[in-house]
Chains A and B, each alone.
Chain A
């Protein structure tokens, strides 16, 4: 098998700027989206994710313009999301240059959204984003930026989402996000083992060994991180070299 594990920087965008925060709170400016996109494209990122954290209707045109500017810089796939509620929302994001669309809260409220998007764009273009938080013996799905419980079991929701037509799961651990103490290996392995589509692990990354863990025991197909890349704490090429030395197949030529 030579399918490489993917490293995916994430740009959380508020209007025209990339921002970063801890546990979905306390936002700080982290740069221009197009500049960061060009940098990651050149440094060997395998994909890029752009999320509209404001996700409000009146600021949608600004976000679409940001997607256009980012897509202009890329020779790798682009995923966009944040506030996608309808087929029309998704179409505008695809037309602006995204290859894939992520849905989260709106899919929990109306699961048919997943199948509508899958029929229109194909399963490979539909990424179901799940924010999960440990509750005793299971993982609870969180919505609205992690504030509210959806009263759903994350494993069950992931399976239902895949049945409805999601081609990929973007799994964020609300327990690990912002902690820089490593990905949530148990959560990711549980979800990855119960669905037939690729799983992108998110939340908690800092050190190269965290990535090796999530690709090993965590069974992730891809790993996503934001601030460690924006801050230059972790360079993508060095991270990939480390992974290759640790027998994780990665794409080093680019």
Chain B
């Protein structure tokens, strides 16, 4: 399947690409509306600052085509900032509007713990799902972030606890997103990406 990786200059595009190729998918870096429209599935990767992602999408005039594709039901996977972008806004850049596909705001993790939340952590799985098929609470995933989604959101499939619980995995219809980096999370991460490809197929 042709999987469009939204390419707006994010650092983790090559590693997402490599991980997908190993799973037999055909990743393609896409930075145009047309590329999004013709793809079989879309992945929005991201590391760094929320503002950089939102501004890059706007500069490339990708905001509307991306929202449109997601709302039309094209299989979507958001990674890290790609999860955060789905919500209405973020404390990291309060002046910018998120994609607004999901209701809610991205907030900073509590200062009672070392930030960024950096390293391998486990999930508390709230309900079974296709995205987490074959994965368990014993599996570790690699996180690198300071801001996160509210654990109480209804689309939350699994939470992670670091200072407080936050939304780590979500799935709603064909919209999937993870706060960690599956492309950097060894065999467990590869399994999750494989599950997404099956959802998208």
Contacts and interface: CB of A to CB of B under 8 A. Distances in A.
> Is this pair of chains taken from one and the same complex?
yes
Interface in B91-122: 111, 114-122
Interface in A1-33: 1-6
Contact of A124 (B18, B118, B138, B189): B118
Nearest to B143: A3
Interface in A152-206: 167-168, 196-198
Contact of B47 (A71, A75, A97, A125): A125
Given A99-B12, A122-B48, A75 B119 contact: no
Interface centre among B117, B162, B186 (most CB of A within 10 A): B186
Contacts of B161: 1-2
A124 B145 contact: yes
- The number of chain B residues touching the other chain, given as a range, is 35 or more
Contact of A196 (B114, B119, B140, B181): B114
B47 A124 contact: yes
A124 B146 CA distance: 8
Contacts of B52: 122
Given A2-B161, A119-B49, A125-B47, A75 B189 contact: yes
Contact of A99 (B11, B122, B140): B11
Contact of A123 (B116, B122, B138, B142): B116
Interface of B: 11-12, 14-15, 18-19, 47-49, 52, 111, 114-122, 138-140, 142, 144-146, 161-162, 181, 183-190
For the complex of A and B, list the 3 residue pairs with the smallest distance between their C-beta atoms, beginning with the closest: A122-B48, A124-B144, A251-B140
Given A122-B48, A124-B146, A198-B116, 20 more contacts: A3-B162, A4-B120, A46-B119, A74-B15, A75-B19, A75-B183, A76-B142, A99-B12, A99-B144, A99-B184, A122-B52, A123-B146, A124-B48, A168-B118, A196-B111, A197-B115, A198-B118, A253-B139, A253-B188, A254-B140
